Amino acid sequence: MLDRVTAPELKEIDKISFIEPEVRELRNGMKVLGFNIGSQEVIQLEFNFFSGAKYQEKSLIAGYVSKMIGEASSKFAPGEIMDKVDYYGAFLQTGADRDMSHVTLFTIQKQLKEVLPIFAEAVLNPTFPERELSIHLKNGKQKFKVENEKVGYRCRQLFSEIMFKNHPYGNMANEAAYDKVDSSMLKHFYKNMYTASNGLIVISGKFEDSLYNELDKEFGSLPVGKYKRTTEKITLSKAEKVYEEKAGAIQSGIRIGKILNVEFGSDSFLKLQMLNTILGGYFGSRLMSNIREDKGYTYGIGSAIATMDDALFFFISTEVGADVTNDAIKEIYFELERLRSELISTEELEMVKNYMLGSMLKSSDGPFSLADKYKTVYLKGDDLTFYDRYIATINNTTSEELLRLAKEFFNSTEMLEVVVGKK
Amino acid sequence: MINFEKFTLENGLKVIVHEDNTTPIVAFNILYDVGARDEDEDRTGFAHLFEHLMFGGSANIPNFDSPLQHAGGSSNAYTSNDVTNYYDTLPVQNLETAFWLESDRLNKLAFTDKSLEVQRSVVIEEFKQNYLNQPYGDVWLLLRPLAYQKHPYKWATIGKEIKHIEDATMEDVKSFFYKHYTPQNGILCVAGNVTVAEVKELSKKWFGPIEVRDQYVRNLPVEPEQNELRKLEVERDVPGDALYLAFHMSRRMDKRFYLADMLSDVLSRGKSSRFTKRLVLEKQLFTELDAFVMGSSDPGLFVVSGKTREGVSLDEAYAEVRLELETLQKELVVEYELQKIKNKIESTNIFEEMNALNKAMNLCSFELLGNAEMINHQMDNYINITPEELKEEAILLFKEENCSVLFYKAKK
């Protein structure tokens, strides 16, 4: 008879391999990190610039600069670039977050030769045509209105607005902002920010060594410019309770969190990652187990640590039934307090360790992911030893240390609480 | 090219093995041939609710996720109108844990009242979050019953209404389990750095002893041909108007599927597509406009969905969409445009092959549709499509009497 009760024996993850890139430089000094790995004939070519929303003088500029790249260029009329990119089966992805922007090309290897000059033209010579910009702005405004009706979205906006008051991170676009952007602002921002000194190229996938020369040929003419990145750490958190009622809401969005005054990659930072995982970082987390799997208040709840250039912050977020909003908030604080008052059992700690190592193994799978893993730490001024330290921390941290850490960082009275919906 | 081997256990469970030695992670995907279309009309949302219950513990293992997390893995699942699909990813050396867990829940669920009560609430919250508490969330609850009058595709996977989920009983749960969760209704795929021999042994050990259960014979009502344009107009508290069109199209396995799929690409794949170029950017009638097909087991829908610009009436928007569809009925797609779409389909296929879990899911889906080998011949179905064939398909597909239109209006 088969024994279905006893779990099969587990084997530890003994090794997670990360890859050092080949580092090159274009003639304009722009740095290139190359990860020539993988078995599929695909390539990701990513241009990163320190040109996120925190550097913009007016709302929406950084986002619309990245959005408009690929729209038109000196050589190509509106629509022509996208038509050609589509024709070669490639994908152009752009975006801006609060610290950085990126312009990324995904292509299969055999089309690279054709698509690279088009991509270069898009990145080097964008024209930001007024007519297309105004269409995108009007459409963007409409989408914003839709998003703003969602309690989750509104809650996130409000949380940032309050937490980062008087800092660019807290400048959230409103409807009116969409009427105040024009082409000359985008051109100005692009010219200052999208430069060789202010950016970083990351290539990953399977490519010929000659690609480095091709890159130099195509992108070596990007102006040198200046390094614009600044970091000024916000250390003070706001502790308030804010409630915004939304008529007719049948769920409430909840966001609770605080700024963590720690350095990226430090011992406390790594241990806080563990504490966060235990609280709300995976399916078996305490918040999920209690608020979803025991009480059924929500479809999902989680927590995370955001690592931005000027702030590290921790937050819990969820959407819960309007009728159980207060109960859910109570349970969230209950779980925060429990982390500060009880030792984590050996069993739970063991599970979290194994889960975290497994998920690290998973997130370092494949050329694009490996490149991303490296980039994440590289941009913070760290190197691959970060992951050695991280793995060692996961393996060696004790419940006593986590309890101490929770007492220091997860004080309920220090949290900003934002609720949008109905209580 | 994706290499794989296939075998069937004595109890009918089909097993596919794909060896991929480039990854330290193994994907374990198991698909059951049961979806929302197999539900009773007065007990909808059940296949999906059941999917939640599959995580609530089995006869010998009180909690599904804890042991998997102990093994460094994670899991999830989804339910569609056709299938319920469960997947686990974990470090390859712990593959047996997935076999142990997945076979125990197919063998026998725990059926605890607590699990039913909690998951009932969770699913109700899911219903609210995705379908009720956000703008345009209820579109599918409106469009499906408009397009389908007989076939069970007329309700969404989440269910027709919250009440059906509230009313589910333990008895319903049990009978659903024994009716649909049988080895012969399952297709398993293991993809990763494994050998066929190893997977064969583990499959026999863990799934082999599970008994064959009665074969459920699917006998669904056939949707009658639609003979007149259907139109529904609703008013909601949303920021702007939206337009939806649904045309009846072929089932996934029909040759016509690929034609319809390609037509949807001509209209809206990529930023250089006709919809984006002409109706969003040139005429500025829509803020966004998409066309997509449902690759469903039974005859599906070709859907056009768009949000109109402020000041544009839905009548005008509808007329302009019709104009684009009629252009496809009258004029041949030019060679350049066709080649563009073929290139895009080819590269998308290559990108999809980068991930073991993706491959495992696709292998199971194709096996259910007929044969896993189809995964390696998808491009063949598109490569020889001609402009004439597309035109003929457009004439059939875009007949006005084959269409259901939803005018989703913003309350003034």
Partner B contacted by A18 (CB < 8 A)? no
Interface test with A, best of B26, B132, B344, B347 (most A CBs within 10 A): B347
Instruction: Take residue A88 and report the two structure tokens written for it.
Output: 């070669």
Query: Å from A230 to nearest chain B CA?
Result: 35
| Average pLDDT of every residue of chain A | 96
Residue listed under structure tokens 């009622």: A245
Q: Is the pLDDT of residue B307 over 90?
A: yes
Q: Is the pLDDT of residue A365 over 90?
A: no
3-class state of residue A351 by DSSP: helix
Cite the beta strand spans of B213-353 per DSSP E. Answer: 230-236, 242-248, 286-293, 301-308
What number is the average pLDDT over the span B225-254? Answer: 97
Contact between A276 and A303 under an 8 Å Cβ cutoff? The reply is yes
DSSP B80: -
Instruction: Take residue B19 and report the two structure tokens written for it.
Output: 């060896």
Show residues of chain B in contact with A88, CB under 8 Å: 343
Rounded CA separation A204/A37 (Å):
7
What one-character-per-residue DSSP string does A56-121 give?
Answer: -SSTTHHHHHHHHTTT-BSSS-TTHHHHHHHHTT-EEEEEE-SS-EEEEEEEEGGGHHHHHHHHHH
Partner B contacted by A366 (CB < 8 A)? yes
3-class state of residue B113 by DSSP: helix
* Percentage, residues of chain B above pLDDT 90: 98
Instruction: Take residue A285 and report the two structure tokens written for it.
Output: 């987390």
Q: What is the pLDDT of residue A38?
A: 84
* pLDDT tens for each residue of B123-177: 999 999 999 999 999 999 999 999 999 999 999 999 999 999 999 999 999 999 9
Q: Is the pLDDT of residue A373 over 90?
A: yes
Pick from B44, B2, B14: nearest CA to B158: B44
Is B128 in contact with A321 (Cβ distance < 8 A)?
Answer: yes
Q: Is the pLDDT of residue B178 over 90?
A: yes
Rounded CA separation B406/B245 (Å):
6
Residue listed under structure tokens 């939640």: B52
Is A365 in contact with B346 (Cβ distance < 8 A)?
Answer: no
* pLDDT tens for each residue of A299-344: 999 999 999 999 999 999 999 999 999 999 999 999 999 999 999 9
Q: What is the pLDDT of residue A1?
A: 86
What number is the average pLDDT over the span B288-294? Answer: 97
Rounded CA separation A234/A99 (Å):
14
Q: What is the pLDDT of residue B186?
A: 98
Q: Which of B99, B125, B307 sits opposite A321 (nearest CB)?
A: B125
Interface test with B, best of A5, A6, A9, A10 (most B CBs within 10 A): A10
Residue B209 carries which side chain, given as an amino acid letter? P
Distance of CA A114 to the CA centre of its chain: 31
Instruction: Take residue B199 and report the two structure tokens written for it.
Output: 């997977």
Beta bridge partners of A243: A419
* Percentage, residues of chain A above pLDDT 90: 96
Q: What is the pLDDT of residue A337?
A: 98
Q: What is the pLDDT of residue A24?
A: 97
Q: What is the pLDDT of residue A15?
A: 84
Query: Å from B60 to nearest chain A CA?
Result: 5
Query: Å from A372 to nearest chain B CA?
Result: 16
What number is the average pLDDT over the span A388-397? Answer: 95
Is B122 in contact with A8 (Cβ distance < 8 A)?
Answer: no
What number is the average pLDDT over the span A337-359? Answer: 97
Query: What ipTM is given for this predicted complex?
Result: 0.94
Residue A13 carries which side chain, given as an amino acid letter? I
What number is the average pLDDT over the span A245-262? Answer: 96
Q: What is the pLDDT of residue B153?
A: 98
Q: Which of A145, A248, A283 sits opposite B237 (nearest CB)?
A: A248
What number is the average pLDDT over the span A268-279? Answer: 98
Rounded CA separation B140/B151 (Å):
15
Residue listed under structure tokens 């090794």: A15
Q: What is the pLDDT of residue A269?
A: 97
Beta bridge partners of B5: B17
Is B272 in contact with A86 (Cβ distance < 8 A)?
Answer: yes
Is A146 in contact with B238 (Cβ distance < 8 A)?
Answer: yes
What number is the average pLDDT over the span A8-30? Answer: 94
Partner B contacted by A350 (CB < 8 A)? yes
pLDDT classification of A87: cutoffs 50, 70, 90 = very high
pLDDT classification of A356: cutoffs 50, 70, 90 = very high
Q: Is the pLDDT of residue B1 over 90?
A: no
* pLDDT tens for each residue of B320-362: 999 999 999 999 999 999 999 999 999 999 998 889 999 999 9
Q: Which of B97, B205, B239 sits opposite A146 (nearest CB)?
A: B239
| Average pLDDT of every residue of chain B | 96
Partner B contacted by A301 (CB < 8 A)? no
Pick from A125, A117, A130: nearest CA to A75: A125
Instruction: Please list the alpha-helical segments (H only) found in A88-228.
Output: 112-124, 130-148, 151-163, 183-193, 211-219
Show residues of chain B in contact with A42, CB under 8 Å: 350-351, 354
Q: Is the pLDDT of residue B410 over 90?
A: yes
What one-character-per-residue DSSP string does A235-271 give?
Answer: ------EEEEE-TT-SEEEEEEEEE----TTSHHHHH
Rounded CA separation B178/B181 (Å):
6
Cite the beta strand spans of B70-194 per DSSP E. Answer: 74-79, 84-91, 186-192
Q: Which residues contact B393 (CB under 8 A, 6 or more apart)?
A: B256, B259, B260, B263
Q: Is the pLDDT of residue A14 over 90?
A: no
3-class state of residue A31 by DSSP: strand
Q: What is the pLDDT of residue A74?
A: 97
Partner B contacted by A77 (CB < 8 A)? no
Per-residue CA distances from B298 to B97, B116, B203, B261, B390 (Å):
35, 30, 31, 15, 21
pTM assigned to the model: 0.95
How many Cβ pairs within 8 Å bridge chains A and B? 211
Q: Is the pLDDT of residue B62 over 90?
A: yes
DSSP A71: T
pLDDT classification of A283: cutoffs 50, 70, 90 = very high
pLDDT classification of A39: cutoffs 50, 70, 90 = confident
Q: Which residues contact A276 (CB under 8 A, 6 or more apart)?
A: A303, A304, A305, A314
Rounded CA separation A265/A261 (Å):
12
| C-alpha torsion A115→A117→A121→A124, nearest 10 | 120
Is B347 in contact with A111 (Cβ distance < 8 A)?
Answer: yes
Rounded CA separation A140/A180 (Å):
13
* pLDDT tens for each residue of B357-399: 999 999 999 999 999 999 999 999 999 999 999 999 999 999 9
Interface test with B, best of A44, A136, A144, A149 (most B CBs within 10 A): A149
Rounded CA separation B397/B258 (Å):
13
Rounded CA separation B257/B248 (Å):
11
Partner B contacted by A250 (CB < 8 A)? yes
Partner B contacted by A296 (CB < 8 A)? yes
Beta bridge partners of B87: B29, B76
Contact between A282 and A351 under an 8 Å Cβ cutoff? The reply is no
Q: Which of A13, A107, A149 sits opposite B72 (nearest CB)?
A: A13
| C-alpha torsion B277→B278→B280→B282, nearest 10 | 100
* pLDDT tens for each residue of A189-203: 999 999 999 999 999
Q: Which residues contact B18 (CB under 8 A, 6 or more apart)?
A: B2, B3, B4, B189, B190, B191, B192, B356, B359, B360, B363
Instruction: Take residue B79 and report the two structure tokens written for it.
Output: 């339910």
Query: Å from B280 to nearest chain A CA?
Result: 8
* pLDDT tens for each residue of B73-110: 999 999 999 999 999 999 999 999 999 999 999 999 99
